[in-house]
Structure formats: structure tokens, C-alpha cells
Amino acid sequence: MADQPIDLRPPEHRVERRAIGLWTLQSLIGFAVLAGLLLAAYLIFDGARSWLGPILVVVAVWGAVVTLVMPLWRYAVHRWEVTEDAVYAATGWIVREWRVAPISRIQTVDTTRGPLEQALKLATLEVTTASSRGPIKVPGIDATVAAEVAAKLAKITQRTPGDAT
């Protein structure tokens, strides 16, 4: 297994469709907080209204565009796959990233679930290697599937020879 070359190809699986809702909520919350702070400053500081008003409008318009476009775009791009030889992930929306981690290089496998992910029964799969690029993160996977994949990867990595560095 370790002597075979890794097949470099796009990952097979899409993230869950519910990830669109997750990314929409995250964007709405982020832009709502930013717009709320700008609006509070606009209402409190009379002298700053001349320049805070246009900034508030730009943030509101940009927030609406990002909230409508980004989740669908990310859903179209995000892919993942786990094989006996490697973990594949394609992520991003402005900057797209495609990563492949050989099984022999995996150090840890984790799943994380924030409050919104828990509410939508989603998880993020994190595969850590010795790479300076950091862990491979695949958000938007069904929580049950993420747990099963993490367990599968733990078994595969235990029986795979390699230095895990």
C-alpha cells in the first residue's frame, strides 16, 4: 500500500446540502454583528455620520451579496473523499484549495461541531498531518458520517506503515 503512487484526482463526495444553511447563517450572523456595531456608532457619534453612513451601506450591500452567493458557491466547490491510501479535500470559494494527504502522514483525526453545526446535524472533519499548511478541514459533513469516517481513518492509519511526519 505504501509503495503505490497516490491517484491524483478530484474528490468524489459533496458535502451535505445542509452546509448551505450553515454557511448562510454564519454569514448572516457575522454581517449582522458588523452592521449592528456600525449602526450603533452611527447613532452615537454625530460627527462621524458623514463617513459612517456610506460604510454602513457598503457593508449591508456586500453582506447581502456574500450571504446569497458564497454558500452556493462553496457547496459547488467543496468535495471530500477518504480511501485506503489518502484523504482528499477540495475547499474554498474565492481561493480554492485542493489537498491530498497520504494515510502514512496522518497524525490525528478529529471532528468538531460548533453550535450551528450541532443544530444542523453537521460536523467538520479535521485530518492533521505534519504539513506546514495545517490540518485538512472538511466542513459540512453529516455528523454521523464524520464520526464513521474518523473511526475508519483511525483503523486505517493504525495498520498503515509510515513515520507519520
Claim to verify: residue 53 and residue 118 sit in the same structural domain: no
Looking at residue 90, the DSSP 8-state letter turns out to be: E
Which region among 4-18, 39-53, 112-126 has the lowest average model confidence (pLDDT)? 4-18
Q: Name the phi and psi angles at 138, rounded to 5.
A: -120, 95
> What does the mean pLDDT of the chain come to?
91
Give 11-44 pLDDT, tens digit per residue: 999 999 999 999 999 999 999 999 999 999 999 9
Claim to verify: residue 70 and residue 94 sit in the same structural domain: no
Say if CB 126 and CB 105 are below 8 A apart: no
Give 61-77 pLDDT, tens digit per residue: 999 999 999 999 999 99
The pLDDT confidence band at residue 158, using thresholds 50, 70 and 90, is confident
Q: Residue 118 domain-assigned? A: yes
How much is the pLDDT for 164? 52
Q: Model pTM?
A: 0.86
Q: List the domain range (segments joined by +) for residue 51.
A: 19-74
Give the side-chain half-sphere CA count within 13 A for 125: 30
Q: Cα–Cα distances in Å, from 92 out to 2, 13, 35, 158?
A: 29, 15, 25, 30
